[in-house]
Chain A
Amino acid sequence: MKAKVYVTLKPSVLDPQGKAIHHSVELLGFDQIQDIRQGKYFEIALDSELSEIAAKETAEKIAKNVLANPVIEDYRVEIIK
């Protein structure tokens, strides 16, 4: 059982790294890009005997308490069997 956790900056929080990446991408000639935001991606391997619901609960807690800072970031959890 695997949990995928995506952590992204809240839309209201400025992302200077995303902006710098956007700038470089434009320099490469990609001129139809409106915006780039940088985020983080985590893979959590969980015990296989866990139910999907229990796995999701566990991963949500980890995302909320450790992986994301709720002051500036949102998170999304996916469970893959």
Chain B
Amino acid sequence: MENTFPSLTIYHLPFTTYMKFGVIVFPGSNCDHDAYHVISKHVGQPVDFVWHKQTDLSGYDAVIIPGGFSYGDYLRAGALAQFSPVMQSVKEFAAQGKYVFGICNGFQILCEAGLLPGALIRNENLHFICKHVNIKVENVNTPFTREIKEEKVLSIPIAHAEGNYVCDDATYDSLEENNQIVFRYCDESGEVTGEANPNGSRANIAGICNLDRNVVGMMPHPERACEELLGSNDGRDIFRSLTNSIAKNE
């Protein structure tokens, strides 16, 4: 298919590559426009907002579940969004091996929906934390990190009150064993230390993937780190990885 979309891409994709992204919008999502901006401007590919009542995801190669406060964080962060009609479709979409990327509230929703293991609870220090943090890429063999050099430290902002990742010992062991821990909070030199852990997450976990590696959730916001003007463009590495994974159909 010819790419008729105006190409602003920084990623030098093959000319004929065409892929479509969906950004799911729940009542209370507020990083949906940031994700849309990055896909349309930096990835240079078509992208739609997908209202949470829509159930047809057949036209998409990847969906992003953006940050925000879906349903006002009522009950638990991400708890009520899991029952929106679109989430059944997201489950089927993921089961087909297509890419699902949950950022911040999106990560919380994926955990609540059972697409990723564990849960995100109130930050250990109770504060809403909004700052740039360093994260280390623990697994470069995922479709979301394949273009990143092993152990590279990324500077990406967090903005959350419930980012404290918890899981039981059996779940943690299986995450380790299956290399499902994708990102950990670390210091500037890449050391995973207690001081570098902003929210109390178990073993400094900042992002994980499912067993099939096509579903990733992370608390930091890579869509807010794609422009020098915003202090970092390390987030581009993640979107470039995802884009190339779709282009290569892997």
On A, residues with C-beta under 8 Å from B are 12-14, 16-17, 20, 66-67, 69, 71-72
Contacts and interface: CB of A to CB of B under 8 A. Distances in A.
A29 to B, nearest CB: 23
Contacts of B75: 66-67
Interface stretch (B16-24, B37-45, B122-130): B122-130
17 contacts: A13-B121, A14-B121, A14-B166, A14-B200, A16-B122, A16-B124, A16-B125, A16-B126, A16-B164, A17-B126, A66-B79, A67-B75, A69-B76, A69-B112, A71-B166, A72-B119, A72-B121
B168 interface: yes
B76 A20 contact: no
Interface residues of B, number: 20
A69 B122 CA distance: 14
Among A14, A67, A69, which residue has the most Cβ atoms of chain B within 10 A? A69
Given A67-B75, A69-B79, A69-B112, A17 B168 contact: no
B119 to A, nearest CB: 4
Query: Looking at A17, A66, A71, which has the most chain B CB atoms within 10 Å of its CB?
Result: A71
A80 B127 CA distance: 38
Interface in B79-95: 79, 83
Nearest to B114: A71
Most chain A beta-carbon contacts within 10 A, residue among B83, B123, B125, B166: B166
B137 to A, nearest CB: 26
Given A14-B166, A16-B125, A71-B111, 9 more contacts: A16-B122, A16-B124, A16-B126, A16-B200, A20-B126, A66-B75, A69-B76, A69-B112, A71-B119
Given A69-B76, A69-B119, A14 B124 contact: yes
A23 to B, nearest CB: 11
Give me the 6 closest cross-chain CB pairs, A-B, nearest first. Answer: A71-B119, A72-B119, A16-B126, A16-B122, A16-B124, A69-B119
B87 to A, nearest CB: 13
Interface in B95-149: 111-112, 117-119, 121-126
Contacts of A13: 121, 166
B8 interface: no
Contacts of B124: 14, 16
Interface string B196-231: 000010000000000000000000000000000000
B19 to A, nearest CB: 33
A69 B111 CA distance: 10
A58 to B, nearest CB: 17
Contacts of A12: 168
A18 to B, nearest CB: 10
